[in-house]
Amino acid sequence: MKPNIGENIKKLRAEKQVTQEQLAEHLCISYQAVSKWENSVTTPDIFLLPAIAEYFEVPIDELFKVNMKGYKNKAQRLLAIYEYTHKKEDFERADAEYEKLFAENKADGADMRFYGVLNEYHSYALAKKSEELYKQAIDLGIETEGQLIYLLSRTGRNEENIATWKEKLKNDPENIRNWRLLAESYEYANIYEKALEIIKKALEKFPDDAGLLYQCGDICKFYCKFDEAIDYYKKSIEQDSDMGSSYYGIAIAYQCMKKYKESIKAWEDVIAYLEKKGLLVETEWPRREIAILQGLLNQ
Q: Which domains are delineated in the chain? A: 1-70 (1.10.260.40)
Residue 160 confidence (pLDDT): 97
- pTM, full prediction: 0.69
Residue 14 confidence (pLDDT): 85
Rg (C-alpha) for the chain, rounded Å, is 30
Distance (Å, whole) CA 210 – CA 217: 11
Residue 57 confidence (pLDDT): 78
Helix, strand, coil percentages (3-state) for the chain, rounded to 5, are 75, 0, 25
Q: What is the DSSP string of 167-219?
A: HHHHH-TT-HHHHHHHHHHHHHTT-HHHHHHHHHHHHHH-TT-HHHHHHHHHH
Residue 12 confidence (pLDDT): 85
Residue 240 has φ and ψ, to the nearest 5°, of -150, 105
Residue 186's Cα: distance from chain center in Å?
Answer: 19
Residue 244 confidence (pLDDT): 93
116-158 pLDDT per residue, tens: 999 999 999 999 999 999 999 999 999 999 999 999 999 899 9
158-207 pLDDT per residue, tens: 999 999 999 999 999 999 999 999 999 999 999 999 999 999 999 999 99
11-43 pLDDT per residue, tens: 888 888 889 999 999 989 998 988 998 888 898
| pLDDT band, residue 3 (cuts 50/70/90) | low
Query: SS3 of 47, please?
Result: helix
Residue 87 has pLDDT above 60, yes or no: yes
Distance (Å, whole) CA 90 – CA 108: 22
Mean pLDDT of the chain: 92
CA angle (239 as vertex; 215, 277 as ends), nearest 5: 90
Residue 2 confidence (pLDDT): 64
Residue 247 confidence (pLDDT): 97
Look at 59 and 104; give whichever has higher pLDDT. Answer: 104
Distance (Å, whole) CA 12 – CA 24: 14
For residues 263-292, average pLDDT: 95
228-247 pLDDT per residue, tens: 999 999 999 999 999 999 99
By CB atoms closer than 10 A (0-12, 13-18, 19+), residue 191 is middle
Residue 287 has pLDDT above 60, yes or no: yes
Percent pLDDT > 70 in the chain is 98
Residue 66 has pLDDT above 80, yes or no: no
| pLDDT band, residue 83 (cuts 50/70/90) | confident
Contact 249, 218 (CB under 8 A): yes
